[in-house]
Chains A and B, each alone.
Chain A
């Protein structure tokens, strides 16, 4: 067997067999799967749970029938019942909760209480407060004695929902959700940062281990230092790719298993018909129409799913793999050079800083990218090789021109060649150097050694 293959094999196998690797690989898909499964479960549960809420006003009937019933919630307006009468018995009377509206409501916003046994869903709270706010606004407006108020109100009642539609080069429009793009940008950028850092420092620790235990002195009688370094870097990269591939496969498998076994048929059907139903729901929606509000809330979910389905998944995964490999190669070779220059892990600090700064900078710019994906800062950082893996991953969900990706990738490849060459030079000298306090001056000397 070729020597570098031997080295790659060892680096790969020793890491893949580690308990920590197996645990990480198996547990993470559960987290990923939850991200897919929970919304489906939530939607499913929402439909089933019918709630009856008792509404009590203290000495007035100002808000009677103000809060419209929804598909799964019914409001029961009780007059002449005191809060204390029902406070402890509402559950046995079949109520989900008691909504108490005190007379101070017009002046103090805290005057409404919802007493329930369980944590009420956010949608329900929004529905109640929205209805009450509207009514109070209406009452306040009434106090100005404006003529034809009802008509005026009806005519100024507007509802704005922004539908984001992106055009691609072929001219076909794709509906997207900014929320999903942001989430993907965040996950992509952060995952890239984590993986590059995690596997990069794995390489560094490996190099330090070989140096301090003098293994390298034995091994370089058999192989060239550069072979040892590249073997380690490639071996660890394969570990990363294995983990990544297993994550995808296991996540898909888990989602499928849960789909077929745990969710009732309806829930998944609903998810699959999202893109159509979301368009229909949007058209049929009017603001003050009671059932439509629930639809609007549901549509929010559906929109997110529609947005998720419409993401350029192929491009995202392909670029992720590309930027992972190249970003990793870039940083891993820098980390390897650092590892070779020091005698133990505590000494790495002084050299870590210049390597960590671009990574962190990349992460910060990536976070900013979510707010403003087309800013020139984001553009440049997604082109410059040291930060491009992280920032470009954050930009891709928002659609990036093909030439930008090509330029960024091309520059990345060029930079890698330079960096690996440089790292190999430092590594070759550093790995056999002991007890000498390394400094930047020293590193420069190693870099410029001939031969």
Chain B
């Protein structure tokens, strides 16, 4: 079931177009990634979803009906720039924001204790926000965003400012939230997190959607003529006119070999070549990283644009 949908959204500012006919569709209990170079229009789309700005044309839907002002209660939003009062104490502030979201004092306290313990930030309760590092502030803000358990969570660049350990922690929490039923939209430049977390993505470049779909399908589509082959024992295929070896390694009694098939080759022939070379344990298309796909798609688009 589709929880959130944006249809043909266009937003123009005085000098430029931020979004031009962008549509996305987010299934319930999934994680949706918004990718794109800086200034592509991601944050504008997020602000439209949050009803901070209105689109010039197009519409957004939640649960199949057009988004209403009161729907923002079902949305948790983590803005890119951290929205916390600097002079206020962490605990007091989290409690304040939670109560504004409609939680009772007791309920807010209970949930805050749970989340503060979970993210190991209990000791910060009485610290002022300005005494915290950027990453620490972000953790606090993360808690305040998810505390009222909204159906739809929107994170704008949730990983910037975090060290690798905290990135992992936040990733785990995002997966955990999905498990508990939340639907998540997040924008990021961190491509490895996209591979790990996202079910679907939209790649936005210069106000247009240039790539969209499930992460798995996109990676398969972009796999091209490269394959990963695993052999039992130490095997090094020599390569012929049908394929060439890109690299190979031997570890734990298995050889991993990355090959590239020539464009004209019959893939069955190549598989046969492999079985001749040694005992094949697996033969898979080599999935390109989202990073590679991102760069290739955006560069191709920009070259096309330059030609026109």
Contact = CB atoms under 8 A, between A and B. Distances in A.
Interface of A: 1, 3, 6-7, 10, 14, 209, 213-223, 432, 436
A14 B52 contact: no
Nearest to B98: A222
B97 interface: yes
23 contacts: A1-B99, A1-B105, A3-B100, A6-B100, A14-B88, A209-B86, A213-B84, A213-B85, A214-B79, A214-B81, A215-B84, A217-B83, A218-B77, A218-B79, A218-B145, A219-B83, A221-B72, A221-B76, A221-B101, A222-B101, A222-B102, A432-B53, A436-B14
Interface string B68-96: 00001101110111111111100000001
A218 B141 CA distance: 10
A222 B84 contact: no
A343 to B, nearest CB: 12
B86 A221 contact: no
Given A3-B100, A6-B96, A432-B52, A221 B77 contact: yes
A385 B85 CA distance: 34
Given A14-B88, A215-B84, A6 B99 contact: yes
Contact of B100 (A217, A222, A432): A222
A221 B84 contact: no
Nearest to A1: B99
Contacts of A14: 85, 87-88
A1 B47 CA distance: 29
A382 B305 CA distance: 66
A219 B83 CA distance: 9
Contacts of A6: 96, 99-100
B50 interface: yes
Interface residues of B, number: 31
B144 interface: yes
A350 B47 CA distance: 28
Nearest to B86: A213
Contact of B83 (A1, A216, A223): A216
Contacts of A1: 99, 105
Interface of B: 13-14, 47, 50, 52-53, 72-73, 75-77, 79-88, 96-97, 99-102, 105, 141, 144-145
Given A14-B88, A213-B86, A220 B100 contact: no
Contacts of B47: 217, 432
B77 A217 contact: yes
B73 A221 contact: yes
B101 A215 contact: no
Contacts of B72: 220-222
A215 B83 contact: yes
Q: Quick one: which of A7, A10, A209, A432 has the most chain B CB within 10 A?
A: A10
Contact of B85 (A3, A209, A217): A209
A57 B105 CA distance: 87
Nearest to B80: A214
A14 B130 CA distance: 14
A218 B97 contact: yes
Contacts of B76: 221
A219 B100 contact: yes
A256 to B, nearest CB: 36
A214 B99 CA distance: 19
A100 B102 CA distance: 84
Nearest to B141: A218
Given A214-B80, A217-B79, A219-B100, 9 more contacts: A209-B85, A214-B81, A214-B83, A216-B83, A217-B83, A218-B77, A219-B83, A221-B50, A222-B100
The 6 tightest CB contacts between A and B, nearest first, are A214-B83, A222-B100, A215-B83, A221-B72, A218-B83, A214-B81
A220 B14 contact: no
A214 B82 contact: yes
A45 B96 CA distance: 57
A214 B105 CA distance: 24
Which interface residue of A3, A215, A216, A218 has the most chain B CB atoms within 10 A? A218
Contact of A221 (B75, B81, B88, B96): B75
A436 B73 CA distance: 28
B100 A223 contact: yes
Contacts of A213: 81-86
A386 B82 CA distance: 38
B69 to A, nearest CB: 9
Name which of B52, B53, B85, B100 has the most chain A CB atoms within 10 A of its CB.
Answer: B100
A23 to B, nearest CB: 16
Contacts of A218: 77, 79, 83, 97, 141, 144-145
Contacts of B85: 14, 209, 213, 215
